[in-house]
Chains A and B, each alone.
Chain A
Amino acid sequence: MIAELLFATFFGLLLLGIHRKVIARIQRRPGPPVWQEILHMLKFSFKTTWVPATASTALFVGVVLVAIGIWTAALLVILSGGSLLVIFAIYMLHKIVEHGFGLSSGSPYGKFGGVRSVISAASEIPLFVTVAAIAIFTKSLMISDIVAYQELEGPLLATIPLAAVAMYVVLLSKMPFGPFSIVESKELVSGYKTEHFGVWRAGLEVCNGLKTYVLLLTFILVFIGSLPFWMVLIAMVLITVSLSFVCAVSPMLSPYDSVTIQTLIAGLMVAYVAILGVMS
């Protein structure tokens, strides 16, 4: 398990590095090397660490451990073929982590990052829609059952493509520098993570690496099915590059527009699942 955890963290960070590189090349900038996020994590691990004098200390520190803990649990669930509902819950609980990061320091930048995280709760609804659409077809939410279903019936990507689009929007909303990345927008310095430096930021980087790996792996297992390991890695890179294209060519929306568009997408997806439910 330790080996898988380390691999997921480093490969997730590498994917985030590829994301930055692709965005930079599309925008005709050289961009950082693809391993930059790994270097960030290592650098922050050995930098001076402190807790701001105004912070709620236990929460400021504890939320970093919670962030790593929930995504480690998510990785464990997905590797053991557990319930998709647990992944769904952990994804939603990440919102609380962002909220906790932002509020615990007392900084106005972090505070507004946390507030934006809460108001963009509509971004979670497409994931619920995905779960509901999958339940209609597979009659199970266990990832092992969903993979087995696809071996018999073919990829769910072909059966319920709009549910895959909903999940893709969920992935997009969690990618940095994307149209919905209002929680870490530059006018808030670094948003909810502004005041977390040193080893706390390294912990957050580990969480981001794990989160990216787990969400992409979930997408592949749930909509494509079981693949050889090397093909899973290639599929992850391809999905990341496609997300990077979207992020590179679309401006970051204002908080109001971001929430409005996410709500509209969520509404469309709910209608889609309602139609699926009636037809099935």
Chain B
Amino acid sequence: MNEIGGAPLFFLEFGDIVIYFTPFTLTLFLLALVFSVFVLVSRPERQLEIAFGGDAYYAKEISLSELRFRRFMSIACGLACMGAMVTGDVFDFTLFVSLVGICNVGIVAAVRSRHVQNAAYQYGLVALAGTVPMFAAAGMVAATTGTLSMLELAKGALTVPLAAQALLVLGVMGEGMAPFYAAKAEMFRAPGAPYVIMCSLSSLLIFLRVTEVILLI
């Protein structure tokens, strides 16, 4: 089961922290990179809205300051996501995932609308709560096995407690809930497709990576 994401292509060692690329992690890394480039080079769309009480319609604009902040958070989210996709260290993975959660809150909370900010607040609470089981999982892995290296754990000589695996998944679910908040009708009153998509993409990517991590360790 050591090669569940395909045969390793490349290892990059930083002391005992190893970054590794398999066909699986490389695919996820490239997707995060491509969408980060989209965020960097694209301007947000202008959503069309119908004005009530007549035939008129108008296009929503996004202010420059809001655009800059959401773009910054989206790029930070993309970078955190890329880190989470290729890291070979359980603690680093939890750090990157919590950063993804923070950035997603930032992307949503920057919109100047009460409804959108309510959604961001609710998501923020869940993401905050999600960090507790996630870091607890990393702590349990270190305490029971003496290592946080996924490559060491994948050798099968050390047993990771089922509770640690369950807590890790629970934590990632909390951080990766963004699409469910972004899918709220209120959220889509706000324009900014490249940024909202980064919320969805990052959540999906961390779900996919945690699947590999759980199967690996």
Contacts and interface: CB of A to CB of B under 8 A. Distances in A.
Interface of A: 54-60, 62, 66, 70, 73, 77, 82-83, 85-86, 88-90, 92-93, 95-96, 99-100, 103-108, 111, 115, 118-119, 121, 128, 131, 135, 139-142
Contacts of B201: 93, 96
A118 B200 contact: yes
B166 interface: no
B197 A96 contact: yes
A55 B193 CA distance: 9
A57 B191 contact: no
A60 B27 CA distance: 21
Contact of B197 (A82, A83, A99): A99
A140 B194 contact: no
Interface string B21-53: 011100110010011001001111111111000
B56 interface: no
B27 A89 contact: yes
A244 B49 CA distance: 37
A99 B35 CA distance: 13
A241 B45 CA distance: 40
28 contacts: A54-B46, A56-B45, A58-B38, A58-B42, A62-B42, A66-B31, A73-B27, A82-B23, A83-B3, A83-B4, A85-B4, A85-B6, A85-B215, A86-B24, A96-B197, A96-B200, A96-B204, A99-B197, A103-B193, A104-B45, A106-B45, A106-B47, A106-B191, A118-B183, A119-B183, A135-B215, A140-B1, A140-B3
A58 to B, nearest CB: 3
B45 A118 contact: no
B208 interface: yes
Contacts of A77: 23
Name A's interface SS.
helix
B20 to A, nearest CB: 14
B28 A89 contact: yes
A-B residue pairs, 10 tightest by C-beta: A58-B42, A103-B193, A106-B45, A56-B45, A54-B46, A118-B183, A83-B6, A141-B4, A119-B183, A118-B179
